[in-house]
Amino acid sequence: MSAEPTNGTATARPTAAVIGDDDEALAVAADLAAQFRKDAAERDAQRRLPRAELDRLSASGLLAVTVPAMFGGADVRQETLAEIFRLLAAADASIAQIPQSHFVYVNVLRRQGTRQQQEFFFGEVLSGKRFGNAQSEAGTKHVQDIRSRLVSGRGADGDGSYVLTGVKHYSTGALFADWIPVLARAEDDNLHVAYVPRNAPGVTVVDDWDGMGQRTTASGTVRLDAVHVPADRIVPHHLTFQGPQLHGAIAQLLHAAIDAGIASGALAEAVEFVRTKSRPWFESGFETAAEDPLLIQRFGELAIQVRAAEALLSAAARSVDAARADLTDDTAAEASIAVAAAKVTAAHAAVDVGSALFEVSGTRSALNALDLHRHWRDARTHTLHDPTRWKVQHVGRYVLNGTRPPRHGLL
């Protein structure tokens, strides 16, 4: 584990392609997923960070597909974005996890950025630049307790800029980022997002993530020591939650897509293993494991679970798209509830199918060299982001009493 240098010249990357529409975005995602799948087990086993793969992701233009059309982006539907994440996660859940925050903070700019901020940062995104994240803080009372501070009036030139100080954990994407969006509170205690260059003086990104799953996300620590932030790099995030909003629904939709992808990837690995490697149980009387009626039954159950997760994911994405077109308290609530239902179902499917892979495949599937356990480890790790039990509560309150879900970044 080491601290990455915060200065020096970044490695040159190819000029990013510009994707034109939803169909092209899906085709590009499917092609990249096929490439990333080939070495996913090896990367996980060796904890080889996917720098080259992320550069391909940047060059593909996929990171810019939610940039509004007026700024040159494809502005794809959320249904398309969810499917992009599902495809990537089915191939490599770590690679899919890394850009989740990227799209969240593109969305923050759409919602609260000034025209000048949008022109600048959307241009960065269209050129292939990546956003990371520096949100969570350890040792706080709850997950949304933010202690990092933006202090005004202490800029190097007395120019009204800010100084940013704090320590962030679980900073997925920061190690590979060009810009790190940092959640911090101003002197009035309101929440802001500061967009900080990855190589800014005072920024240190420490590769100290040692989770059992999603091993190559490098979700480590970001230290911010008196980092100078110009005022035009700061967005008033607290305003996002003062009216109907889709910030939380969109963020959670991508998490649901990752879970659904893990489930479908694990099922595909189980199918391939049983077809080509598993031996039939002697009592079945069949020549191949794939003919065993008990295995057939189990695969049917697992396939139904995966299909349910994928169907609810698509339905939730369509609900978000509908709310974006007509944003009210009611449409925002319906979108959040639809996403909550999808997230609960996908999370259960990811963990269940990742575990059942061994049940249906047999003893050989447990060999460490095959690294099939990465699916369950990724699922178990990713589904810890936020408890599904609370999403069930919100769905129940909404259905029974018409209670809208709260406005925050996890709904």
pLDDT tens per residue across span 262-300: 999 999 999 999 999 999 999 999 999 999 999 999 999
pLDDT of residue 166: 95
Note whether 40 and 96 are same-domain residues.
Answer: yes
In a domain, 411, yes or no: no
Say if residue 206's pLDDT is above 60. Answer: yes
Q: What is the pTM of this model?
A: 0.95
Note whether 258 and 395 are same-domain residues.
Answer: yes
Residue 1's pLDDT band (cuts 50, 70, 90):
very low
Q: What is the pLDDT of residues 113-160, one digit of tens each?
A: 999 999 999 999 999 999 999 999 987 777 678 889 999 855 445 567
pLDDT of residue 145: 80
Q: How many domains does the chain have?
A: 3
Q: What is the pLDDT of residues 22-44, one digit of tens each?
A: 999 999 999 999 999 999 999 99
pLDDT of residue 22: 98
Say if residue 3's pLDDT is above 80. Answer: no
Note whether 98 and 117 are same-domain residues.
Answer: yes
* φ, ψ dihedrals at 194, nearest 5°: -105, 125
CB atoms within 10 A of CB 139: 8
Mean local confidence (pLDDT), 96-109: 98
Note whether 116 and 27 are same-domain residues.
Answer: yes
Residue 61's pLDDT band (cuts 50, 70, 90):
very high
How far is Cα 386 from Cα 382, in angstroms, rounded to an integer? 9
Mapped to the 3 state alphabet, what secondary structure does 343-401 carry? HHHHHHHHHHHHHHHHHHHCHHHHCHHHCCCHHHHHHHHHCCCCCHHHHHHHHHHHHHH
Note whether 213 and 259 are same-domain residues.
Answer: no
In a domain, 410, yes or no: no
How far is Cα 35 from Cα 49, in angstroms, rounded to an integer? 15
Residue 93's domain comprises 11-126
Q: How far is CA 242 from CA 152, 345, 404, in A?
A: 24, 29, 15
Say if residue 9's pLDDT is above 70. Answer: no
* Beta pairing, strands 191-197 & 234-235: antiparallel
> In this structure, what CATH number is given to the domain that contains residue 227?
2.40.110.10
Note whether 224 and 252 are same-domain residues.
Answer: no
